[in-house]
Structure 1
Amino acid sequence: MMHRRWIALLILFCTPAIALAHPGHDHAGLGAGFLHPLSGLDHLLVLLGIGFWAARSRTMRGALLVGAAVLPALASGFAIGLAQGPLPVIEFGIVASVLLTGLLVGAGTRLPTLFTAAVAAGFAILHGFAHGAGMAAGMAAGLSSGAFLGGFLLASSLLLATGALAAGLTRNETLERPARHATGGALVVASVYLLIAV
């Protein structure tokens, strides 16, 4: 039965009907950069999920290391996207990052700290790239990327912290498993929605 579910999921990922998660947002200034991660379901959920996963599976020091890896990766991805411009294939990677974060959270997967940080940073590069590629059009219109990136990273750090706080609040034995399953399940469902939404 589980075998059939994985096949169905693979078929979904091979379909061309994918939701572009970054359609025409405003790219002017610090405020726009701050609101940008909060208005994209993919970015919002993956950062909350990474914060939750890191705090649930790591010591506080380890969770901080994961968070410290995510923000530079977002900035690096943003710079690459700004230079490159849009690549439609990145959207598949973004949806996959939401799905994989959901699976990692839901299963309660514990990986070595450096590997956790590397996985989280890889996801962050994809998300940063998409936002930087979206900003490339704004640069052509004369907008500056510096203030936008500052707001973008500030909101992203708050989302990571919120996910970690949610993990901390549900750390007792009664809430741990339901919270983990609900969070992971929501991310998996959201990844399917992002994939098929038009």
Structure 2
Amino acid sequence: MKRPLITVLAGLLPLVAASHTGELAHGHDFLSGFVHPLSGLDHLAAMLAVGLWSGLALRRAWQAPLAFVLLMLIGAVAARAGLDSPLQEPMIAASVLCLGLLAALRLRLAPLLAAALVGGFAFFHGLAHGAELDGDLALLGLLLATALLHVAGLLLGLLLRRHLKLAAVGAPVLGGGIALLGCALLLQAVGA
């Protein structure tokens, strides 16, 4: 099971690399923004991991996804105002790694700490997407797609939480796969 997962994830790395370099076409309409997070495996994995971890381990499962959406919006607005950071790509990769590990380990954190951690990562996701997308409708589409990906991960996490035997296998496999992707992305981001 692990070998095919790693093979699939490695095969998708070129798509991840293209998602933040402008190689993929991004417009200014709602649909372009909505599709944007689905076009990059890094964002897709991070969003699902936020929901998965929240559903598996957090007492107030809605707080971390909400914090992510809000801080991503703030990051996008900051990017539109001209803020840029050389840490943006490494932090996005680190978010995939950390969120995957949190889900795999089903680590419980206090709600405020979980929201702060997720929100910190979200700000860098917002910087990247705010620089790439043009227009308020595109940003609205991005936020809606992000929230829906959180909900999908959250529902999966809650389902696993109900079935402890399934969670004992599912959380490490799903979270671990996301964390492995994060490792690959982090190596790529730091140029190793």
Unaligned 5+ runs, structure 1: 1-17, 139-144
TM-score (norm 2): 0.82
Kindly indicate whether residue 32 of structure 2 is the aligned counterpart of residue 22 of structure 1: no
Unaligned 5+ runs, structure 2: 1-15
Q: Is the 8 A contact 1:21 1:91 kept in 2?
A: no
Kindly indicate whether residue 144 of structure 2 is the aligned counterpart of residue 154 of structure 1: yes
Q: Which ranges of 4 or more aligned residues in structure 1 deviate by more than 6 Å?
A: none
Change (3 A) 1:192 1:66: closer
Percent of residue pairs bearing the same amino acid type: 36
Change (3 A) 1:74 1:127: same
Matches within 5 A, 1:22-171: 22-24=20-22, 25=24, 26-59=26-59, 62-84=60-82, 86-135=84-133, 138=134, 145-171=135-161
Name the aligned partner's letter for residue 177 of structure 1.
A
Task: Give the match's secondary structure for 1:110.
Answer: coil
Structure with the greater alpha carbon radius of gyration: 1
TM-score (norm 1): 0.80
1:138-173 deviation per Cα after TM superposition (whole angstroms, max 9, x unaligned)? 5xxxxxx21001100000000000000111222212
Aligned to 1:191, which of 177, 182, 188?
182
Aligned residue pairs: how many?
Answer: 171
Q: CA deviation at 1:55?
A: 1.3
Instruction: Specify the alignment match of 2:9 in structure 1.
Output: none
Name the aligned partner's letter for residue 179 of structure 1.
G
- Once structures 1 and 2 are overlaid, which stretch shifts more, 185-194 or 43-52? 185-194
